Chain A
């Protein structure tokens, strides 16, 4: 571990530029390719600047209705997943921890399965245009409920035991998996297909209405976590050590779980299950900037957002005009890279 960036500002500026590039390309590229300049001009028009030009109206329509909400969704999902990954790795004091460990992802998947299959079995009353919102709400609620249960199971004598939480998370995830399997067994073909695609994640359902709750959750996590950077550093030494350094560890753990449940729950509700971002991004950035949370948190936020936007670009370009599920792309990119990291040096 030699290559810590000595100038943190340079890293943050580079990551910001990378994110801007990813965002820009996300507005311009797709089944219908817009000139790069036009996508920016369209953004200006959306912001109310009176510009006119050939094809700008069409560009404004595409950017405004489809690509801008999609890019914002990708930005929020990527940054909140990466931030939650950092939070969980600090909570479990293990660089291999993943936001899914506390049951939020499997709970959300269960909620989604309930909405999709339950909807197709009994839900004749739900109008089709509202069913995506029902799905999101159900996924979010499922994530929160399972995480709350994992947290409860980890509590004893007024203390949260992270090792117990980890095991409870594993057991409840297995239980949720069984229930999802049962739903899949009961589902008709259309519902099964929806369920499968939802489990692979996608940004294609992006709309402003589905964006707001996630943007709020992301903003909350992004504002709150960096304020705890010092406490997170201390927590890596151990819980007693953090207490000896004057931090209220029980409260911190509670806040970390809540933060992850809200952030990951909202991300999964909006975009389905997108794997590897929460594990990979913090890992990769620790290689570049070291484990200090004061730098790692903003870096992970920027890096996670960039990675997700680039992955989504691949998802929509590789088989254009068809679209690959996003989770396939992140896993295809993430898993080999992660293996390479593991082999390269112990973190």
Chain B
């Protein structure tokens, strides 16, 4: 499983993360919250090996990330970046099929997985279209299908890192996509997602990490983290925290 120990990261000569101790747990959806510039994306980049840590290290299964051969690591760890730029007219199922590149599971099995991943991301109807004709939200769902296909069907050995997977989605799809991610985590995969919407985080995440100025401010279940005090300290926002009338999770309203 993915583990960060005393992680510190520098970017452009500036320390953007320090003292991060974090373990992703199988089957769990961990939400990362924090204001702009808090180090959320840096954390994700460090967790997947894109940024070299200044101190501490990231281990996958107890082995430092750098020690993993590329394809083997790719079968265990998938990353959804914030805004993938693809300027070529691939068909949607080809883009999702890229998730199968680290595998040698055969064309038929790959096609089946691509279809299932598309269905999971509610993007089946996009199959056959050129990627370039899709809207921002549709592209985001296609890339989510791609990273799910990379780990499909998901299991306790695997890790999925998502950078703002709902940033371009309409309200319905913000819910249906996070529900899909939850179900994917239900197969055993450890999922970390950077989120901005506190209520979405409250509803779908098992644990939340509150990040500010590169440091961990709170880590725990939504009820522990989403309290008026810490939220005011981190976001500078006065909020009321109530209980969701039907589901019981915290409901955050700006005052």
Task: Please list the residues of chain A having a beta carbon within 8 angstroms of any beta carbon in chain B.
Answer: 1, 4, 93-95, 230, 233-234, 236-238, 240-241, 243-248, 286, 290-292, 346-347
Shortest CB-to-CB span from A18 to chain B, Å, is: 23
Determine the interface band of chain B, counting residues with CB < 8 A from chain A.
Answer: 20 to 34
Bound form: Cα–Cα A243–B65 in Å: 13
Q: Determine which residue in B48, B49, B69, B102 has the highest number of CB atoms from chain A within 10 A of its CB, and name it.
A: B102
Do B98 and A234 touch (CB < 8 A)? Answer: yes
Contact residues in B for A291 (Cβ distance below 8 Å): 88-90
> In the complex where A240-B81, A246-B75 touch, is A290 in contact with B48 (Cβ < 8 A)?
no
A1 lies within 8 A of B130 (CB): yes
- Inside 8 A of B69's CB, which chain A residues have their CB? 246
Q: What's the Cα separation between A194 and B78 when bound, in Å?
A: 56
Q: What 8 pairs between A and B have smallest CB-CB spacing?
A: A246-B74, A246-B71, A246-B70, A291-B88, A246-B102, A1-B89, A1-B130, A244-B79
Chain B residues near A240 (CB, 8 Å)?
A: 50, 79, 81
Which residue from B72, B88, B91 sits with its C-beta under 8 Å from A236?
B88
C-alpha gap A243/B69 in the complex (Å): 11
Residues from 80 to 119 in B contacting A, C-beta threshold 8 Å? 81, 84-91, 94-95, 98-99, 101-102
- For B71, the chain A residues whose CB sits under 8 A away are 246
Asked if B87 contacts A244 (CB within 8 A), the reply is: no
List 15 additional A-B contacts (Cβ < 8 Å) besides A1-B89, A234-B101: A93-B85, A233-B94, A233-B98, A238-B81, A240-B50, A241-B84, A243-B49, A243-B50, A244-B77, A245-B98, A245-B99, A245-B101, A245-B150, A247-B101, A290-B90
Inter-chain CA distance A347–B133, complex, in Å, is 11
Give the docked Cα–Cα distance between A93 and B78 (Å).
21
Interchain CA distance A180-B101 in the complex, whole Å? 45
Q: How far is the CA of A291 from the CA of B91 in the complex (A)?
A: 9
Closest CB in chain B relative to A253 CB, distance in Å: 15
Q: Tell me whether B175 is interfacial, beta carbon within 8 Å.
A: no
Structural contact, B74 and A244, CB atoms closer than 8 A: yes
Q: Is B233 an interface residue (CB 8 A)?
A: no
B73 cross-chain contacts in A, Cβ below 8 A: 246
Give the distance in Å from the alpha carbon of A238 to the alpha carbon of B84 in the complex. Answer: 7
Shortest C-beta distance, A279 to chain B (Å), equals 15
Which residues from chain A contact B77 at a C-beta distance below 8 Å?
244
Q: Would you call B132 an interface residue if the criterion is a C-beta within 8 Å of the partner chain's C-beta atoms?
A: yes
Tell me which residues from 164 to 195 in chain B have a Cβ below 8 Å from any Cβ of chain A: none
* CB within 8 Å of A: which B110-139 residues: 130, 132-133
Taking a contact as CB atoms closer than 8 A, the residue among B74, B85, B94, B130 that contacts A245 in the complex is B74
Indicate if the CB atoms of B70 and A247 lie closer than 8 Å.
Answer: yes
Chain B residue at minimum C-beta to C-beta distance from A240 = B50
Q: Decide: A244 and B89 in contact? CB cutoff 8 A.
A: no
Contact A244 B48 (CB under 8 A): yes
A248 & B70 in contact (Cβ 8 Å cutoff): yes
Q: Which of A95, A236, A243, A244 has the most CB of B within 10 A?
A: A244
Q: For residue B147, which residue of chain A has the nearest CB? A: A244
Question: B90 — which chain A residues lie within 8 A by C-beta?
Answer: 236, 290-292
Task: Kindly report which residue of chain B lies nearest to residue A93, judged by CB atoms.
Answer: B87
CB-CB under 8 A for A238 and B85, given A1-B130, A246-B70, A246-B75: yes
- Residues on B with C-beta less than 8 A from A93 are 85, 87
**Chain A min CB distance to B128 (Å):** 10
A73 to chain B, nearest CB (A): 31
B residues 134-155 touching A (CB-CB < 8 Å): 150
Partner of B101, one of A1, A230, A290: A230
Q: Are A292 and B132 in contact (CB under 8 A)?
A: no
Contact B89 A290 (CB under 8 A): yes
